[in-house]
Amino acid sequence: MKKKAISSFLTRNIREFALIAMILFVAAFVQIRTEGVFLSHANLSDLLREASILLMVSMGMMMVIICGWIDLSLGSIMGLSGMLGAMILRANNDIPLPLLFLICIGIGVLCGTVNGFIVAKLHLYPLIATLATTYIFRGIIYLFSHGNWVAQAEMTPEFIAVATTDILGINSLIWFAIIIVAFTAVFLRYTNTGRYLYAVGNSPVSASVTGIKSSRVQMLSYIIMGAICGLAGLLWICKYGNAQSESCAGYEMSIIAAVVVGGCAISGGQGTVAGVVLGAIFIGTLNNILPLIQVTTYWQTLIRGFVILFSVVINAISQKSVKRNALRRRVI
């Protein structure tokens, strides 16, 4: 009985164990290749800060993908909230930071609501709809900024310190990531709405038959995604110390890679917080080591593309295997 329980646990979590093994193998290889630079305190600190923002946004994308949709506009939402937040700070240095963060989260919620309404209420294909809003939100950035930067000198030291302050010896960005991950885990596991996301992702029609309002659940996933992007966009500006019109452009590829590598099925209805956390750590590690071992930008893009493709193929094979086993059990 005990052996069966252990075997079942290993089978259910085989992807997570594989990711842990892969991360450890890559870390050991790069540590040797860089002669100890990779695991240095300075590099690990930068890796964890970078992975924190990646992890936060991955939690939002996971909820959207579990619901059966996708959001390509996240980079533009982050860029928009970050740019507007920086411009507000430049115009009024005395603004309380909590209020500034709330404003940026509100901007993200507004963008998420627009995406949710277009996809869930107007029933437009999410890939095309969010591709369109990607350009719309990016265009709004240019409309407000006129293509100009907001430099670090125009920001307050207190604002920049948000990304550099340590609390109990842990960087504040990591604390933000921990809070978002904890919220997502509780939301998906212990709330009815969280469970509805999986139901809608598996079958919107069946979910509707049981009384679940699929369109509301789908719209909520985009709103939560927008809120997290609004927060992450301002933290991005804190970390890098400037706001540009192209800030966060293309960031959606890293996020999608993290979520897919973490085991979320693009078709919806499948995904775990633990898996996506490991997926984000893996992609964050990959983003860190490729420049470290002097891989050119072109090869970095190619490698990320292959990682996404490989993960999608593995997910598809895994889903077919699960369905085949379920069918066999029914026959038996």
Would you state the pLDDT for residue 105? 97
Residue 145: which residues within 8 A CB-CB, separation 6 or more? Answer: 83, 87, 243, 245
Contact, 229 vs 74, CB < 8 A? Answer: yes
CATH architecture of 15-322: Orthogonal Bundle (1.10)
C-alpha atoms less than 13 angstroms from C-alpha of 134 in its C-beta half-sphere: 20
DSSP string, 307-322: HHHHHHHHHHHHHHHH
Q: How far apart are CA 109 and CA 224, in angstroms?
A: 7
Q: How far apart are CA 182 and CA 179, in angstroms?
A: 5
Would you state the pLDDT for residue 80? 96
Tokens in use for 120?
A: 């869930």
Q: How far apart are CA 154 and CA 220, in angstroms?
A: 36
Would you state the pLDDT for residue 7? 56
Contact, 64 vs 236, CB < 8 A? Answer: no
Would you state the pLDDT for residue 288? 81
Would you state the pLDDT for residue 327? 47
DSSP string, 79-131: HHHHHHHHHHHHH-TTS-HHHHHHHHHHHHHHHHHHHHIIIIIS---HHHHHH
- Name the one residue in this structure whose structure tokens are 């997570």: 16
Would you state the pLDDT for residue 2? 58
Helix (H) or strand (E) run with residue 241 in it: none
Tokens in use for 263?
A: 């085991």
Would you state the pLDDT for residue 130? 95
Mean pLDDT, 10 residues at a time, the chain of 332 residues:
57 69 79 77 80 94 93 95 94 93 97 95 92 95 90 90 88 94 95 92 85 90 96 94 88 89 84 90 84 75 77 68 53 48
- pTM (two decimals): 0.88
Q: How far apart are CA 318 and CA 313, in angstroms?
A: 9
